[in-house]
């Protein structure tokens, strides 16, 4: 669109030009004003309180500059808090609906020791920005400093509900400031599975194992398919809570926690290889790795019972070695006598000495009970077995006193220990003949014989 102005008289032309110049000057001044105010009020720019004070003298009507000056004075080592309070109060008068200025005013009043005034300002900020997570978080922390625990918990819950990433720092803060009060922690946790899992994991790391497990068991197991539940199991194992870890693990992989709480748990899980492993939850299941000497996997079509078994096809390389490619962690009662049974089938097995099913224990490397070597040739399913005594959980090399200077308690008859079922083939010499053929293993079982 084009505007044409016809100016026939000189006076009119001069007046028009003067108006245009005035408007342009005003626009230029406003642009310069906005640029300077924006630059100086940007919290990312390091500007001294003196420079900001000079700027506010030139632009006294800018609430943003007043607020920035107040922030600078509050954080200054000399703590000019009275002047800071005056600046931010002016900013709030100039812009009464900007919640950010209320937050700065709360900081200034708290710096003056006026906690009640600071709370009033923070609540004003909340009323102006009720969905702002940072404001809720600041109010919650201020209420804690006022020792208004109940009110603080309400605000912490509101903040966490909107941003669950705040949970770890919130739980840690409340744990310390409330004297490890579990009720306070539970009151801030939103009613969803992931938040409950975070609380359970936090308590477990604080050594509150029973409370952590109790919370974990109440979570809908359909919501526990992520890495958090697997990490929870791993922490239990690292703490030596093997029985608890196995029970919770069985409930997870079975998809129903009551499965793990009704009757005895199977010592060897998936003993017949009929179930597929759940990704990320392999703590007590079969682990099958790769080997350059054999193809190892769970195969259908040949089985003693069911439809699948573990199959090992040897590749014909000399000096064949198997060492941990097949394994499962099992939980036993320390010092108790057991029997391990399993079934073996062979086809075209050529070997100077076959592999053995072996048990290992990280706590006692010298403890390695094993079954007889699997014989060469062709043989249908046959049972093999061997007896053993589970190792003690406290090794003989344990220190005479623990970290608190007390004698360690002796292991009870119900203490548990983790051992690993594996298949091992160790050459006797630096060279032996190539190993060929196929072995199937199925239906493992460990049971007490005392």
Give long-range contacts, CB 8 A cutoff, 24+ apart: 285-290.
285/253, 285/328, 286/310, 286/326, 286/327, 286/328, 287/326, 287/327, 287/328, 288/325, 288/326, 289/324, 289/325, 289/326, 290/325
H or E segment and range at residue 345: strand 337-350
Percentages helix, strand, coil for the chain, rounded to the nearest 5?
A: 45, 20, 35
Render 44-91 in DSSP notation, one character per residue.
TS---HHHHHHHHHH-TT-HHHHHHHHHHHHHSTT--HHHHHHHHHHH
pLDDT tens digits, residue range 105-137? Answer: 888 788 888 999 999 999 999 999 999 999 999
Q: What is the pLDDT of residue 205?
A: 93
Give span(s): CATH 1.25.40.10, the chain.
45-260
Q: Which two tokens stand for residue 238?
A: 């690292």
Find the range with the poorest average confidence among 28-32, 97-101, 167-171, 385-389.
Answer: 28-32
Percentage of the chain beyond pLDDT 70 is 73
Nearest to 103 by CA among 149, 66, 134, 61: 134
Q: Which CATH number fits domain 45-260: 3.40.30.10, 1.10.10.10, 3.40.50.2000, 1.25.40.10?
A: 1.25.40.10
Q: What is the pLDDT of residue 397?
A: 40
Q: CA distances (Å), 234 to each of 75, 134, 301, in order?
A: 44, 34, 35
Find the range with the poorest average confidence among 33-47, 123-137, 220-234, 341-355.
Answer: 33-47
User: Predicted confidence band at 19 (pLDDT cuts at 50, 70, 90)?
Assistant: low
SS3 329: strand
Nearest to 217 by CA among 239, 199, 234: 199
Give span(s): CATH 2.60.120.260, the chain.
287-393+412-448
User: Predicted confidence band at 96 (pLDDT cuts at 50, 70, 90)?
Assistant: confident
**Phi (first) and psi of residue 343, to 5 degrees:** -120, 140
SS3 287: strand
Q: Which two tokens stand for residue 366?
A: 């010298």
Average pLDDT on 297-320 reads 95
* 414 and 243 Cβ atoms separated by less than 8 Å: no
pLDDT tens digits, residue range 194-219? Answer: 999 999 999 999 999 999 999 999 88
Q: Which CATH number fits domain 287-393+412-448: 3.40.640.10, 2.60.120.260, 3.40.50.1980, 3.20.20.140?
A: 2.60.120.260
Q: CA distances (Å), 225 to each of 17, 60, 163, 231, 243, in order?
A: 74, 59, 21, 11, 21
Average pLDDT on 326-353 reads 96
Q: Which two tokens stand for residue 427?
A: 């050459």
User: Predicted confidence band at 358 (pLDDT cuts at 50, 70, 90)?
Assistant: very high
DSSP lists the bridge partners of residue 167 as none
Q: CA distances (Å), 79 to each of 8, 15, 138, 295, 340, in order?
A: 65, 54, 20, 73, 74
pLDDT tens digits, residue range 286-307? Answer: 999 999 999 999 999 999 989 9
- Residue 378's contacts (CB-CB under 8 Å, 6 or more residues apart) are 346, 347, 348, 349
Q: How far is Cα 361 from Cα 445, in angstroms, rounded to an integer?
A: 18
User: Predicted confidence band at 254 (pLDDT cuts at 50, 70, 90)?
Assistant: confident
SS3 259: helix
Q: How far is Cα 186 from Cα 188, in angstroms, rounded to an integer?
A: 6
Asked whether residue 58 carries a pLDDT value surpassing 80, the answer given is: no
Asked whether residue 386 carries a pLDDT value surpassing 50, the answer given is: yes
**Phi (first) and psi of residue 29, to 5 degrees:** -65, -40
User: Predicted confidence band at 168 (pLDDT cuts at 50, 70, 90)?
Assistant: very high
Q: What is the pLDDT of residue 383?
A: 97
């Amino acid at each position: 669109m084009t505007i044409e102005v016809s100016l026939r008289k000189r006076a009119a032309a001069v007046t028009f030009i003067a108006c245009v110049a005035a408007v342009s000057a005003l626009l230029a001044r406003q642009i310069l004003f906005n640029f300077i105010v924006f630059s100086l009020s940007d919290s990312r720019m390091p500007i001294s309180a003196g420079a900001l004070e000079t700027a506010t003298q030139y632009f006294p009507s800018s609430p943003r500059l007043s607020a920035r000056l107040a922030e600078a004075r509050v954080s200054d080592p000399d703590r000019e808090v009275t002047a800071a309070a005056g600046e931010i109060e002016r900013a709030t008068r100039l812009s009464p609906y900007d919640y950010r200025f209320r937050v700065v005013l709360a900081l200034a009043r708290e710096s003056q020791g006026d906690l009640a005034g600071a709370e009033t300002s923070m609540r004003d900020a909340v009323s102006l920005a009720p969905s702002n997570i940072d404001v809720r978080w600041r109010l919650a922390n201020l209420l804690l400093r006022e020792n208004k625990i109940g009110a603080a918990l309400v605000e912490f819950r509101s903040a966490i509900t909107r941003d669950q990433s705040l949970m770890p720092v919130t739980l840690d803060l409340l744990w310390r400031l409330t004297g490890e009060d579990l009720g306070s922690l539970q009151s801030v946790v939103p009613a969803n599975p992931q938040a409950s899992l975070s609380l359970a994991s936090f308590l477990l790391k604080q050594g509150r194992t029973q409370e952590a497990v109790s919370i974990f068991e109440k979570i809908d197991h359909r919501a526990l398919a992520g890495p958090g539940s697997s990490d929870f199991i791993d922490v239990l194992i690292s703490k030596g809570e093997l029985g608890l870890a196995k029970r919770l693990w069985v409930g997870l992989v079975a998809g129903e926690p009551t499965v793990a709480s009704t009757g005895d748990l199977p010592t060897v899980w998936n003993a017949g290889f009929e179930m597929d492993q759940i990704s990320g939850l392999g703590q007590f299941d079969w682990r099958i790795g790769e080997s350059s000497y054999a193809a190892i996997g769970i195969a259908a079509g040949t089985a003693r019972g069911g439809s699948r078994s573990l199959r090992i096809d040897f590749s014909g390389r000399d000096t064949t070695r198997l060492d941990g490619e097949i394994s499962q962690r099992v939980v036993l009662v320390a010092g108790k006598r057991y029997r391990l049974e399993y079934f073996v089938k062979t086809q075209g097995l050529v070997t100077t000495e076959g592999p053995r099913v072996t048990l290992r224990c990280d706590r006692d490397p010298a403890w390695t009970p094993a079954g007889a070597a699997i014989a060469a040739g062709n043989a249908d399913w046959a049972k093999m077995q061997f007896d053993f005594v589970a190792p003690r959980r406290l090794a003989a090399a344990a220190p005479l006193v623990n970290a608190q200077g007390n004698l360690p308690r002796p292991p009870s008859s119900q203490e548990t220990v983790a051992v690993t079922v594996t298949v091992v083939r160790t050459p006797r010499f630096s060279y032996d003949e190539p190993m060929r053929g196929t072995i199937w293993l199925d239906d493992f079982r460990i049971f007490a014989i005392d």
